[in-house]
Structure 1
Amino acid sequence: MTATTTTPAALTLCRRIGTSGSVLLALGGWTAGSLPAYDASGLWRERGAEAADVGTVLTYLGLVLLVCAWWRLGRIAGSLGAGELVRVLVWWSAPLVIGPPLFSSDVYSYVAQGLMSVRGLDVYQLGPAALGGPLVHSIPAMWQHTPAPYGPAFVGMAQAVVRLTGSAVVPAVLGMRAVCLASLAVIVWAVRALARATGVSEGGALWAAALNPLVICHLVAGAHNDALMLALMMTGLVLARRGRLLWAVVAVSLATIVKAPAGTALLFLVPLSPRWRGRIWPGVWRVLAGASVATAVTATVSVVTGRGLGWIAALRTPVSVESVWSASTDVGRLLAWAASVSHTAGTESAWSRPDTITAVRVVCLLAALVAIVLWARRAPAVGPEYALGLSLLTLVVLSPAVQPWYALWGLLPLAATAWHRLSGAWQKTLVVVLVFSVLPDGHGPALDDLVTASLGIALALAALYGSTALRWLSGGGAGGAFAEQKGLP
């Protein structure tokens, strides 16, 4: 069978299976998602333990279908046009637009910080608990008394959303999701522009970036502010590619005062500029000019929003919580445990648990900074976006504050310019592991959650096994033969 007949058939099947998965995700979210503690409208309310169990089954049933569709689509993405992949993204995202948040309750913190700003409370000195009222109870207890860890650009955005939608939780959350959807549209534009500039397949780049299940689950369904940060950062990369270096610095600076890690991209803008051409002194002057512009943008936004520079001190907020995803924190725990065992055995130990964890975190952060500098030096040789992507992934791995969707910080620059490096089996498996690592309500797993999740996964696999779709998803049949003939991943 020819490519013109097999590729559209495979694309259609992947789109339908993925859309079915998103529909099931959305349905499950209405009872098993991250529901608010109180919703005056009654739309997003808890419906009992039995309904939550059914929702969890539906959620994982849908998640398996979505992931399988994405995995199979990767085999033909390089031969598809960007318009076809954008339509698939719309189909996969649409069912999740109006439902409750999934896989995280962070968006309630965003709304609370916006409401605090509206009421004149300092989000960098006070936690959401200062608000009082039912909204606070939608936020995990560990974050209720902690200041906002985000820059003034994002807090100002949250304030604008709350002013526009009011303090009712459902409209405010949907307003924050609208910001994420607009950011996703910008990401799609930026990924396509970078793919064209570097001569890679736009379809493949969109598959690895925008259609990534981490994007669907956490930027769309979860409404994380990482979407806004990434949209601004990727815009900066495009502007730098086009020789508009100072505007690129402005965009990345704005991304940095949404979430600070985006500032890493500032080191890679000069090598992106076509005017640089490896010359030392023009490069030095551009770095100095860029640093001045970044400082001016940061100071201006901080002053105009009326928040000053208090947000810089608040950046330590995420570090105050010991994340299980943080390798540096886990190593620190292990060393602290070993020290406590040796102390119990009679050997003197000068290290306390907090001291040990802090020391390991500092060492890992220094190692990450060294790696970033080394990648910045290699940027002209390997490609600035590629070097930036690996730098950000290194930062995520060694950071004291880690969440599964943070992987997108590095994956998006890599996908835009070297998507084929993300299409191997182990790279896709890593994405799948990250997707399945978070429960629909964003909380830690309990036994009943694991049972219902396993049931949903089993049902999805049984449905795929019992249908002709399995032949396509595994690369068999005409679609798989075509992929192998063309050397697609």
Structure 2
Amino acid sequence: MAGAVIRWAGFAAAVLLAVGSYAAGALPGGDPGADLRRLGLDATPVSFQIGLAACVLGLVGLVVAWWRLGAMVRAGTVGAPALAVTGVLWALPLVVAAPLGSRDVYSYACQGWLFANGADPYSLSPAAGGCPWVDAVAPVWQDATAPYGPVAIALAAAAAWLGGGLLVSVGALRLVAVAGVVLAAVALPRLARACGVEPTRATWLGVCTPLVAVHAIAGAHHDALVAGLVVAGLAAATTRRPLGPVSWIQALGAGLLLGLAVAVKVTAVVALPFAVLLVAGAARRWLLAGAAGSAFAATSLAAGLGFGWVAAVSGTTDQTQWTSLPTGVGMSVGYVLRGFGAGAGADDAVLVARVAGLALLALVLLGLAASAWRRRVDTRAVVLRCGAALAALALLSPVFYPWYALTALAVLAAAAEAPARRWLAITTGALTFLILPNGLGVATLTKLPGAFLDLALVVAVAWIWLPRTREPAGRLLRRLIPVR
């Protein structure tokens, strides 16, 4: 009885969120809350205010229902079939909602339109290429070229090729995102079992979440497909059979899946070394790595686009928001410099902090890879370090948006245990509120306090952990996320 109440309460919250999206979401006709940042809520239309209230209430209701559902999953009163039904029920209203939290799906549609019409989206922006839907694209991206891999561009082109205008293309791209979520939902239980984690708990934490509902399904981000391909690739790689044709097929399949993930967003390459370690035998490891490289090269050649996305990736760092930890630290230093009359160095502070963040990221990734190599016979340890690497990539990159965490959270859900799982759940819920329905980031409205929050966090972590830097990386990681 309690399970049914929670299921339908979450559905009602999702319906409220979907209804509100048509007044306060990222609508193709323009931003209904365009004056919110500059003039405040009173300057926005009443319809937007009502829609925003509906979205906020719906989102709060969905998060509360999800949290209560998690308690029932942990208690064993909700099994895998009931969780699947609940997840589908909560997702249905958002499949037909207006885009929420971002206008990126319109960028995808324009990039696909350019490619479908013989243009190179790595060389031409939506505005320069004459995309008929350019007005729906966020102003900051109208003159930006595509930073995505050939698979993402090809799928967007297929969506544009269907005809029927922008809404049909957006609907097709949303179905691609849904396919990514379904793939993750199918593969995550297998990965969790290989790690010794109860599959239903992993699915609740990694797939059946408000973050996935809002930013993977309603937002239709490419990251949803990346998450599905990465989780499926890792699940296929988790074989310890030393002999037999099945292990070879699994290694080949894992490599192809991960190669396709990289061909959607290059950041997925971080998962590849860990997937290699999951496979038994040197020959199978080489097969997995070769299959991944071949899949990426083949899709690049088939699309005929080359590697133009490399230059476009650097353009995504133009946004300065404290949701990126290094950027936030640089912003806080810049505010201090301005206070002392040295405002000219404020931008340099952000640049230096970002470079330091990338250097730290490289060290963290190397440390996690080395730690995984030492524990390569332990599936859970390797998957856990893969999730930590993906999380570090999201946190230490120059720019961070909530949907960047989808892949990391899905992988960590398969390997983490309490108390880390509780913190992951809290993080998942908090990330859902980080961007307003129309795409305006809360970080944009809270630059100064957010920047100093980042600085305080870095100081606190340094104070706690620096005296322990002599400990091996694996032991430090186990302090944060225990591994049996």
Q: Do 2:15 and 2:93's aligned partners in 1 also have CA atoms closer than 8 Å?
A: yes
Counterpart residue number, 1:98? 96
Q: Please list the CA deviations of residues 29-84 of structure 1 after superposition, one character each: whole Å capped at 9, or x if unmatched.
A: 11111100279xxxxxxxx8111111111111111111001111111213132111
**Which residue, out of 18, 22, 27, partners 1:35?**
27
SS at structure 2 position matched to 1:193: helix
* 2:12 counterpart of 1:15: no
Q: 1:445 to 1:330 in 2, by over 3 A?
A: closer
SS at structure 2 position matched to 1:128: coil
Q: 1:51 to 1:309 in 2, by over 3 A?
A: same
* 2:237 counterpart of 1:240: yes
Deviates further, 216-225 or 364-373? 364-373
SS at structure 1 position matched to 2:71: coil
Deviates further, 367-376 or 199-208? 367-376
**Which residue, out of 141, 144, 163, partners 1:143?**
141
Counterpart residue number, 1:409? 407
* 2:59 counterpart of 1:53: no
TM-score where L is the length of structure 2: 0.80
The 2-side partners of 1:444 and 1:417 are apart by 31
How far has the Cα of 1:418 moved from its partner?
3.5
Gaps of 5+ in 2: 32-43, 240-246, 446-484
* 2:62 counterpart of 1:66: yes
- Alignment of structure 1 residues 59-458 onto 2, 5 Å: 59-78=55-74, 79=76, 80-132=78-130, 135-164=133-162, 166=163, 168-242=165-239, 243=247, 244-273=250-279, 275-276=280-281, 282=282, 285-339=283-337, 344=342, 352-353=348-349, 355-380=351-376, 381=378, 382-418=380-416, 420-424=418-422, 426-444=423-441
Gaps of 5+ in 1: 1-8, 40-47, 277-281, 449-489
The 1-side partners of 2:443 and 2:294 are apart by 48
Q: Do 2:409 and 2:424's aligned partners in 1 also have CA atoms closer than 8 Å?
A: no
Deviates further, 140-149 or 323-332? 323-332
Counterpart residue number, 1:279? none
Q: Please list the CA deviations of residues 94-141 of structure 1 after superposition, one character each: whole Å capped at 9, or x if unmatched.
A: 111112101111100110110010112211122111243652121111
Matched residue type, 1:269: A
Percent of aligned pairs sharing the same letter: 35
The 1-side partners of 2:388 and 2:412 are apart by 8
The 2-side partners of 1:389 and 1:101 are apart by 28
Matched residue type, 1:135: W
Counterpart residue number, 2:464? none
SS at structure 1 position matched to 2:127: helix
TM-score where L is the length of structure 1: 0.80
Q: 1:419 to 1:112 in 2, by over 3 A?
A: farther
Matched residue type, 1:108: Y
Q: Please list the CA deviations of residues 391-418 of structure 1 after superposition, one character each: whole Å capped at 9, or x if unmatched.
A: 1111111111211122222110121244
Matched residue type, 2:261: A
Aligned length: 421
The 2-side partners of 1:34 and 1:184 are apart by 21
Q: 1:371 to 1:261 in 2, by over 3 A?
A: farther
